[in-house]
Amino acid sequence: MARTGWRWLGLLPFLAFAALFLILPIGYLVRGAFQTPDGRWSLETMAQLFSPEIRASYWLSIRLSLVSAGMGALAGLVLGWALILGGLPGWVRRGFMTFSGVASNFAGVPLAFAFIATLGRLGLATLVLRDVFGLNIYAAGFSLFSFWGLALTYLYFQLPLMVLMLTPALEGMRPEWREAAESLGASPRQYLGRVALPLLAPSVLGCFLLLFANAFGTLATIYALTSANFGVVPIVLFQQIRGNVLYNPNLGYALAVGMIVIMAASNTVYFLLRRRAERWRS
């Protein structure tokens, strides 16, 4: 019994870290969200989340997160399938997995600068397309600083993150399942549609939700690209906390609480889907 008690001491650093940087900050945000700037307890601040401007910022964030997560999940599934189950050489898989580990953490100002240098109005790819192939993407309506430009930028770290998260599920696809399907007369398309994809669906949906949460909380990349001129929730929150003509830190706390609720819901559904996927692989 004493030895078991000592083992719990190893959790103390983690518990202290979680309390200092997760539990206490959330409590502080919730407290501030139910107060007015003069310190009175009120529902007035939370009620401002339903104003047209705040609802529009949430809807913009949700749409941007859904699109970037959907693009990342679909492209990541195809790329992961090719790497893990496509019979490619081992060095190709190792190279892509190494790149994915680096690219999934490449965001913020460096990523914004890289895309501006590549797809900005005077970016390398933009000039090559214009001068060599006669295609002016900006004249055709594309802009790196628009909704679809931001979604494309998000895809840079969403795609490799999807590959990393989906790899265990793809590695868990047993060859016996394909052999059993083929022995029963199933074509490759039938195996894919009736066996493989249904088995992978919980993992894919769970990874999609994590990508959604990842995009929903992104601030540095979009701030560096648009200079706070794109009204997603993290930008509006940043403006309220750091100060502008509409400075209201309590509204920033309320915005943060709304983000926490949305991200907690997506993560909860992810854990439920992951448990279901693990039952199939066990």
State pLDDT tens for residues 86-95: 888 889 999 9
Res. 37: pLDDT tops 90: no
Query: Is the separation of the CB atoms in 75 and 159 below 8 Å?
Result: yes
* Percent of the chain residues topping a pLDDT of 70: 95
pLDDT at residue 173 in the model: 86
Query: Is the separation of the CB atoms in 252 and 98 below 8 Å?
Result: no
Res. 59: pLDDT tops 90: yes
pLDDT at residue 3 in the model: 60
Angle at CA of residue 206, ends 205 and 207, nearest 5°: 90
- Among candidate residues 212, 237, 263, the one with its CA nearest the CA of residue 57: 237
pLDDT at residue 152 in the model: 94
Only one residue has tokens 């900050």, namely 25
Res. 281: pLDDT tops 80: no
Report pLDDT digits (tens) over 212-236.
Answer: 999 998 888 998 888 778 889 999 8
Q: Using pLDDT thresholds of 50, 70 and 90, give the confidence band for residue 27.
A: very high
pLDDT at residue 4 in the model: 60
Mean pLDDT of 21-50: 90
Q: Using pLDDT thresholds of 50, 70 and 90, give the confidence band for residue 282.
A: low
Q: Using pLDDT thresholds of 50, 70 and 90, give the confidence band for residue 246.
A: low
Whole-angstrom distance, CA of residue 35 vs CA of residue 45: 7
Q: What residue segments make up the domains of the chain, in order of their start?
A: 52-281
Mean pLDDT of 55-68: 95
What is 52-281's CATH number, 1.20.1440.230, 1.10.3720.10, 3.40.50.720, 3.20.20.70?
1.10.3720.10
Res. 75: pLDDT tops 70: yes
Contacts (Cβ under 8 Å, ≥6 apart) of 60: 230, 231, 232, 233
Res. 2: pLDDT tops 60: no
Mean pLDDT of 246-261: 88
Q: Is 9 exposed, middle or buried (0-12, 13-18, 19+ CB in 10 A)?
A: exposed
Report pLDDT digits (tens) over 118-173.
Answer: 999 999 999 999 999 999 999 998 999 899 999 999 999 999 999 999 998 898 88
Query: Is the separation of the CB atoms in 236 and 57 below 8 Å?
Result: yes
Mean pLDDT of 41-62: 92
Whole-angstrom distance, CA of residue 235 vs CA of residue 159: 23
What 224-231 contacts at long range (C-beta under 8 Å, 24+ apart), as own/partner pairs, is 224/108, 224/109, 224/111, 224/112, 224/113, 225/112, 225/115, 225/116, 225/144, 225/145, 225/149, 225/150, 225/153, 226/145, 226/150, 229/145, 230/60, 230/145, 230/150, 231/53, 231/56, 231/57, 231/60
Q: How long a stretch of residues is the chain?
A: 282
If you average pLDDT over every residue of the chain, what do you get? 88
Residue 169 vs residue 8, higher pLDDT: 169
Res. 55: pLDDT tops 90: yes
